[in-house]
Structure 1
Amino acid sequence: MENVSDRGVVVAIDGPSGSGKSTVSRRVAAELDLAYLDTGAMYRAATWWCRRADVDLDDAPAVTGAVHAMPLRMVTDPADPRVVCDDVDITAAIREAVLTAVVSKVATNLDVRTELARLQRAIIAEETTPGTDSRSGGRGVVAEGRDITTVVAPDADVRILLVADEQARLTRRARERHGNADHSTLEATRDEVLRRDADDSTVSTFLTAADGVVTVDSSALGIDETVDAVLTVIAGARQARP
């Protein structure tokens, strides 16, 4: 029987848009020399793939079929995470506003969620199995995104819900997208942050912590402070690990 201590560590981080989970997860993965998996990028990649194939995003069965055939590769290096689909590096393309506006149509497709969860579990398994030719060499992975703490990796060694209040989330996303957070840029990001959360919450729970999930509130914290808070949670969990 496999000793659980032989496996790499799995850190699962969920939370609403603008809570800082992507930046924090990358920093934590780099600090601990683990792989980094952005599961949200996989939904964006699926949307890009469907649009490239001229699939109607309102046709759920057609979207599901396209996603099952999607040749997706996730590069899990936290220093340079990339998304490659059909040998095309789409890391930048999947962040374009036109795709952001429609990604929830794919992300709320339950059959797509099932397929991408399967792919996510396969990546996590590879990154936590000693002897595999993975980025972490089997040491483990920090995986972040919708459903990660409850559906994809409910048995993760560390499960964290990273939250922040609405104003903090809007401000962060406005600065990220536009370089500042004035009235116009806050309004420009409102749909991306709040509407997407409302859409995604119809099929995923990420606004309140499930049993066993530790909540970290980043509303009043900078990135460095949030990273430290998450590292503290991980250190405590790893000490208690058998």
Structure 2
Amino acid sequence: MNERYPHRINIAIDGPAGAGKSTVARLVASELHYVYVDTGAMYRAVTFVAQSRGLQLNDSDSLASLASGLDISLLPGEGGQIVLADGKDVTGLIRSREVTAAVSLVSANAAVRSRMSELQRRMAAAKGVVMDGRDIGTHVLPDAELKVFLTASPRERASRRFLELGDKPAVTLDQLEGEIALRDRMDSEREIAPLRQAADALLIDSTGRSIAEIVDEIVSLGRTAAQAIAAREN
């Protein structure tokens, strides 16, 4: 706990793919001495395990059965958060293009979302959590004391992903932009907990802005919110 800012709140950061949510949320959590929960990694883990077991991703019953018995843990590590699925480290495996292309389909499954939301709420029960995803402020943590909707232009989000692929990417920038646009549409149009900005969330557009600048803004907002709540309680 940060002795200078002792009151702990929950911070929800939502937004589309490639907006920088995970990086920003992780750094905000570190600055505030909070726990970072990467909900997207949890859905990716379910997707990876489903693919590795040869499940049909449009088979709702199979996915529901998988999610109900799958143990997913998020642990701190030197290089960032470690993702375990049934005790196996799948941190690097869940970032493949195959998982990325399929995770929206898996995350749209009602039973999968219900199970993951249950685990995520448990993680946030003690407060002091920064959680990022697509429905945190609207569905998972609707009572979060600070909600942010982080976005960026599709081209900028595609450019960021393109740079992450290194010197010899297997996909073009235009292809990545098309994939991001498709995922935006799938996430926004799904029936279960669609991607949308909560009514009380602050919209932050990261286009043309540095990660450090965005982190500083959210940290400041978090400290202000915590101080305001502490003042009301005293």
Q: Distance in 2 between matches of 1:44 and 1:143?
A: 15
Determine if the alignment matches structure 1 residue 174 to structure 2 residue 162. yes
User: Which residue, 175, 178, 191 being the options, matches 1:188?
Assistant: 175
C-alpha displacement of 1:197: 1.6
Q: Distance in 2 between matches of 1:100 and 1:163?
A: 18
Deviations 1:72-92 (A, max 9, x none): 111156962011011110000
Contact persistence 2:7–2:226 (CA under 8 A): no
Number of equivalences: 223
RMSD over equivalenced CA pairs, Å = 2.3
Contact persistence 1:27–1:78 (CA under 8 A): no
The equivalences for 1:90-129 within 5 A come to 90-125=90-125, 127-128=126-127
* TM-score for the superposition, normalised by structure 1: 0.84
User: Which residue, 192, 198, 206 being the options, matches 2:185?
Assistant: 198
- Consecutive unaligned residues of structure 1, counting only runs of 5 or more, are 1-5, 129-139
Q: Distance in 2 between matches of 1:67 and 1:195?
A: 25
C-alpha displacement of 1:191: 4.0
* TM-score for the superposition, normalised by structure 2: 0.87
Counterpart secondary structure, 1:17: coil
Change (3 A) 1:205 1:55: closer
Q: Distance in 2 between matches of 1:99 and 1:156?
A: 29
Percent identity, aligned pairs only?
Answer: 36
The equivalent residue for 1:150 is 138
Contact persistence 1:164–1:217 (CA under 8 A): yes
The equivalent residue for 1:218 is 206
C-alpha displacement of 1:180: 9.2
- Consecutive unaligned residues of structure 2, counting only runs of 5 or more, are 1-5
User: Which residue, 186, 190, 215 being the options, matches 1:227?
Assistant: 215
Change (3 A) 1:27 1:213: same
Contact persistence 1:26–1:78 (CA under 8 A): no
C-alpha displacement of 1:111: 2.0
Change (3 A) 1:194 1:179: farther
Contact persistence 2:14–2:136 (CA under 8 A): yes
